[in-house]
C-alpha cells in the first residue's frame, strides 16, 4: 500500500469469542457488524490497527469509480436517509466527481457531507471464499490490494 491511498475495510467475521483488544479496535473503526465497510486513509496508526484485526476484516485500496458507486448507493444521513448528487452539490458546492477527486487528494473528507461513517453492505453474491483463511491462502481475510474492488462490486 502506498502512503497516499484510500483503503476500504470490510468486516467479514462475527462477534463470538473475540479478544477484548480486537473488539475494541473494531469498535474504534466503527465496524461493529459483519459486512460493514469504512473508508480510511493509509496512515501508520491505521496500519497498526489493521494488522491487529486482520483475522476479522479484509482490506485494500479502493478506486474512484467504485467509491462513487458505494457513496451514491450506500451512504446514509442520520435517520437512515439516502443521499444523492443534488445533496452533495448543496452541501459542498461541488459535483460528485469533483468531491471524489478532492476526497482522493485528501482535500475533503466524508465528514464534510455529514453522513454516517459506516456503509452497511449486503453480503457478497455467491458468498465469501472462506472466513477463516487469509486471502493469500484462498480465503477472504486480510490484505487483498486492488482485489477489494471485485469484492465490493459483489456487495454493492
* 94: number of Cβ within 10 Å: 15
pLDDT on residue 66: 93
Facing residues of 119 across strands?
37
As a residue count, the chain comes to 156
Report the share of the chain in percent with pLDDT over 70.
Answer: 97
Facing residues of 60 across strands?
8
Nearest to 7 by CA among 23, 45, 97, 130: 45
Q: From CA 118, how far away is CA 129, in angstroms rounded?
A: 23
Mean pLDDT over 113-135 rounds to 85
Mean pLDDT over 133-153 rounds to 87
Mean pLDDT over 111-120 rounds to 90
Q: Does 7 have pLDDT greater than 90?
A: yes
Domain boundaries, the chain: 6-63+119-151, 64-113
Q: What is the pTM of this model?
A: 0.90
CATH of 6-63+119-151, one of 3.40.50.300, 1.10.10.10, 3.30.1390.20, 3.30.1240.10: 3.30.1390.20
Residue with cell 477489494: 148
pLDDT on residue 65: 93
**CB within 8 A of 125, min separation 6: which ones?**
154, 155
Q: Label residue 129 by pLDDT band (50, 70, 90).
A: confident
pLDDT tens by residue, 45-84: 899 999 999 999 999 999 999 999 999 999 999 899 999 8
pLDDT tens by residue, 88-101: 999 888 899 999 99
Amino acid at each position: 500500500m502506498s502512503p497516499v491511498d484510500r483503503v476500504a475495510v470490510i468486516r467479514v467475521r462475527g462477534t463470538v469469542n473475540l479478544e477484548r483488544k480486537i473488539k475494541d479496535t473494531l469498535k474504534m473503526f466503527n465496524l461493529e457488524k459483519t459486512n460493514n465497510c469504512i473508508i480510511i486513509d493509509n496512515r501508520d496508526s491505521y496500519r497498526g490497527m489493521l494488522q491487529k484485526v486482520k483475522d476479522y476484516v479484509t482490506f485494500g485500496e479502493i478506486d474512484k469509480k467504485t467509491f462513487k458507486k458505494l457513496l451514491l448507493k450506500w451512504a446514509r444521513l442520520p435517520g437512515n436517509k439516502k443521499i444523492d448528487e443534488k445533496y452533495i452539490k448543496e452541501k459542498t458546492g461541488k459535483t460528485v466527481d469533483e468531491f471524489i477527486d478532492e476526497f482522493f487528494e485528501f482535500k475533503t473528507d466524508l465528514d464534510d457531507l455529514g453522513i454516517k461513517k459506516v456503509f452497511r453492505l449486503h453480503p457478497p453474491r455467491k458468498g465469501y471464499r472462506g472466513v477463516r483463511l487469509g486471502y493469500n491462502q484462498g480465503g477472504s481475510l486480510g490484505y487483498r490490494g486492488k482485489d477489494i474492488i471485485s469484492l465490493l462490486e459483489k456487495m454493492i
